[in-house]
Structure 1
Amino acid sequence: MLAIRGARLFDGERRVAVPEPTVLVRDGRIVAVVPGPAVPADARLVDLGAVTLLPGLVDAHVHLAFDGGPDPVGAIDGAPDSRVLDGMRAAARVSLTAGVTTVRDLGDRRYLALRLRDELADRPAAGPRILAAGPPITTAGGHCWYLGGVADGAAGLRDAVRERAGRGVDVVKVMASGGELTPGTRSYEPQYSVAELRVVVDEAHRYGLPVAVHAHACTAVENALAAGADVVEHCSFLAADGVAERPDVIAALAAAGTTVSATIATRFDRGGVPPGIAARLTGLMRQVGRLRDAGVPLVCSSDAGIGPAKPHGVLPYAMDVAVGRCGWSTVDTLRALTALPAALCGLADRAGRLAPGYDADLLAVAGDPLTDPAALHAVRAVYRSGVRVG
């Protein structure tokens, strides 16, 4: 048995008020959370000192195939799969060392994220747990068409979902609007109709798969909601001239209980925010607040890999953005980085909590992120499945 001790503990939902909290781990699973100083006689104690123990962070929106550089698409254009996969391995490792023990890859090339998922399943120190969507479904010439997921018409969309189900994806990703990484598309314009998105949702649900819908455009958000999407990614409400104010759509999202994955984790100090997003940044931050105030279920995610402001391992910076720019409390933000995205990813009984029966995915940071958001960057130790990351 392994006993991991700190000074404070946040269990994914609340601060646990016990002195010298100690997490007992056996065979990669949490057995108990107990107060110190006593530990079982057969336990090996690792006392991490004045740290806060938290569940490993869960990033529900990353792109491991993109390198986070100034031209992430060009970097893989024409590159052999072996080279792209090497870059994905490095990205996964960076994410893990930042304290992100689970990622959901929402767009790769030729299902490489599935290959990496299976490769890392038994190598917990090499990278996070991966859930993968494969190439995102998109229109001809649509956002991320170059990743190979083009599908048009009802029959084509059904076939696209069936192919992904046959490959063993964990989630189906569909692009309901244009995006900043694809010339010729506009983030504020929709790509698929409600009827087309409903084909994707219905077919995916037949296979027991959730559907994540990329939706920057206000109309795309409406379409995703009407089609029954499980989660709306970004949910930016973009219009040609800014950010649309649509309290009716926000109310409908709340009434439906549709989760929004707010990709707010950003390194603003590194630059590289797309001009179209930078010009709307104030409105986008305000919109996140409106969603929260209306009771829309929210998780914090990153879109890691798509540019310099979105490097791999950027998820902890969601704490700075949510608290500093959106006015969230620290405890609600930590929930949106741990237990809530774990539940969104179908891992409510395995990840995002420090509780008996859960995987021993732990993050230890110096200081107290419940009083100082910057503490989340001061990583002192990371464990995945009870294995300490080197």
Structure 2
Amino acid sequence: MPMNSFAIHAGSMFDGFSLSGPATVHVSGDRIVRVDRTGALPADGRQVVDLGPSACLLPGLIDTHVHLAFDAGPQPVTSLTSASDSDLLAHMRAAARSALMAGITTVRDLGDREYLSLTLVDEFAGNPELGPEILPAGPPLTTPGGHCHFLGGEVEGVDALRAAVRERHARGCAVIKIMASGGNMTPGSVPPHMSQYGLDDLRAVVDEAHRLGLPVAAHAHGTQAIREAVEAGVDSLEHVTFLSADGVAADSELIEIIVRKGTFVSLTLGLEPGEAVQPPKALAKHVEAILDTYGNLHKLGANVVIGSDAGIGPVKPHNVLPHGVADLARLGVAPLDALKSMTSLAARLCRMDGRKGRIAAGADADILVVNGDLEHDPAAVLDVQAVFRAGVRVR
């Protein structure tokens, strides 16, 4: 029996799809090898981590949109642009560790500088206790002077965009991020409701990325950007606020297309309680309308995942994702459905279905243990009892 062969026992289990009673999960090395849904304890003498009858096992959470390079401070852009690579890496290590301690065992990093997240991928490969598994995008593709241009991903023209996708693939990125619309953090760039790239540009990026086996995540606030990103075939829409020059104008026909095509929508949810929430000026007047749209997307059957956008301000520390369960609950989403958005459904988006986002034989031993009733209490996911990453207990 391997030295790191053990079993975890708890009073209930959410396996990424449904909740059940007492369970015992057998781990060998970095994988789950057996799940006993009767809750019987092993008879072979292996070590048992018994967390008690009020504990609930669930898969490690997946945050589909983070920025480890942003420090979650009041001036995240200034902090990033003034930091050396070594200082920025030190911060990113701490940010990753913070996420892991909250039970977030996988993250999509959708925008860094100088491909620094790839350095962390290498560091964490043999040391899973250091942080979550990172799916890096590298510097996001943006227009000259466009949203987040300071990350170094400025590119225009179909040929140059295709070449930029190839470069990210060659470096080992796991996803391509493109700024289809403007954003809120970059002075001088176009406002978030306006498009930065046209349909031909988006198609070129999607075609090249899919040819190389990479998914595409499109930052898209404006309705036109959302429509063209969907038409181009992106895998996920980030933010999806349906902004126009006059406010929020959710397009019901476009939502139907999103649902029918199965395009994932990565909703920006999860806020740190106690922090004064000051939305960007472009969004401040429209928060309720945006939240209504988010609720409707879920109600109408869209593939909803949660991307916290961790790092972009004080309300977005890198451990904030679990608060998204309560955010979705306030929109009328059942807590277990919210948890699916952070586990099994997020794993599908990340092309890690079967390995992440579920508790089943053959899956990674990324396991979060919380205390409480997950079915009825969204806050239970915040009461962390233990975290296992690739079979290593880190908390």
Give the TM-score range, shorter chain: over 0.9
Asked whether the 8 Å contact 2:9–2:41 carries over to 1, the reply is no
Asked whether the 8 Å contact 1:273–1:307 carries over to 2, the reply is no
User: Match for 1:285 among 276, 291, 305?
Assistant: 291
User: Match for 1:147 among 146, 151, 157?
Assistant: 151
Q: Secondary structure at the match of 2:79?
A: helix
Asked whether the 8 Å contact 1:273–1:309 carries over to 2, the reply is no
User: Match for 1:273 among 271, 276, 279?
Assistant: 279
User: Match for 2:350 among 322, 345, 354?
Assistant: 345
Q: Secondary structure at the match of 1:348?
A: coil
Distance 1:269 1:320 in 2: 15
- Segment of structure 1 superposing worse, 274-283 or 180-189: 274-283
User: Match for 1:33 among 25, 31, 35?
Assistant: 35
Instruction: State TM-score, norm by structure 2.
Output: 0.96
Per-residue Cα deviation, 1:328-377 (whole angstroms, up to 9, x for no partner) = 01111111111110111011021100111101111111111211101111
Aligned residue-pair number: 387
**Residue 306 (structure 1) aligns with:** 312
Distance 2:165 2:367 in 1: 34
**Residue 242 (structure 1) aligns with:** 247
**Residue 355 (structure 1) aligns with:** 360
Computed over aligned residues only, the root mean square deviation of the Cα atoms, in angstroms, reads 1.1
Per-residue Cα deviation, 1:190-228 (whole angstroms, up to 9, x for no partner) = 100011111111111111111110001111101101111
Distance 2:147 2:76 in 1: 14
Distance 1:275 1:124 in 2: 39
Residue correspondence of structure 1 range 219-234 to structure 2 within 5 A = 219-234=224-239
Offset, 1:274: 2.0
User: Match for 1:105 among 102, 106, 109?
Assistant: 109
User: Match for 1:178 among 169, 172, 182?
Assistant: 182
Offset, 1:120: 0.6
Asked whether the 8 Å contact 2:326–2:335 carries over to 1, the reply is no
Q: Secondary structure at the match of 2:209?
A: helix
**Residue 263 (structure 2) aligns with:** 258
**Residue 78 (structure 2) aligns with:** 74
Distance 2:352 2:283 in 1: 31
Offset, 1:170: 0.3
Asked whether the 8 Å contact 1:9–1:52 carries over to 2, the reply is yes
**Residue 297 (structure 1) aligns with:** 303
For structure 2, the residue ranges without an aligned partner over 5 or more in a row are: none
User: Match for 2:173 among 133, 147, 169?
Assistant: 169
Offset, 1:77: 1.1
**Residue 319 (structure 1) aligns with:** 325
Counterpart of 2:59 in structure 1: which amino acid?
P
Per-residue Cα deviation, 1:297-323 (whole angstroms, up to 9, x for no partner) = 111220100111111011001101000
Distance 1:345 1:263 in 2: 17
Distance 2:26 2:344 in 1: 19
Distance 1:57 1:345 in 2: 12
Distance 1:131 1:3 in 2: 28
Distance 2:228 2:39 in 1: 52
Distance 2:272 2:223 in 1: 25
Q: Secondary structure at the match of 2:274?
A: helix
Distance 2:297 2:171 in 1: 35
Instruction: State TM-score, norm by structure 1.
Output: 0.97
The alpha-carbon distance between structure 1 residues 175 and 47, as it changes in their structure 2 partners (threshold 3 A), is same
Offset, 1:268: 5.3
Per-residue Cα deviation, 1:138-190 (whole angstroms, up to 9, x for no partner) = 00110000000000011211111111111111000000011111112311111
**Residue 47 (structure 2) aligns with:** 44
Counterpart of 1:90 in structure 2: which amino acid?
A
Per-residue Cα deviation, 1:66-89 (whole angstroms, up to 9, x for no partner) = 011111110011321110000000
**Residue 134 (structure 1) aligns with:** 138
Asked whether the 8 Å contact 2:307–2:321 carries over to 1, the reply is yes
Asked whether the 8 Å contact 1:136–1:172 carries over to 2, the reply is yes
Identity among equivalent pairs (%): 49
Offset, 1:381: 0.5
**Residue 7 (structure 2) aligns with:** 3
Distance 2:48 2:77 in 1: 46
Counterpart of 2:180 in structure 1: which amino acid?
A
Distance 1:33 1:114 in 2: 33
Distance 1:96 1:353 in 2: 17
Distance 1:189 1:163 in 2: 27
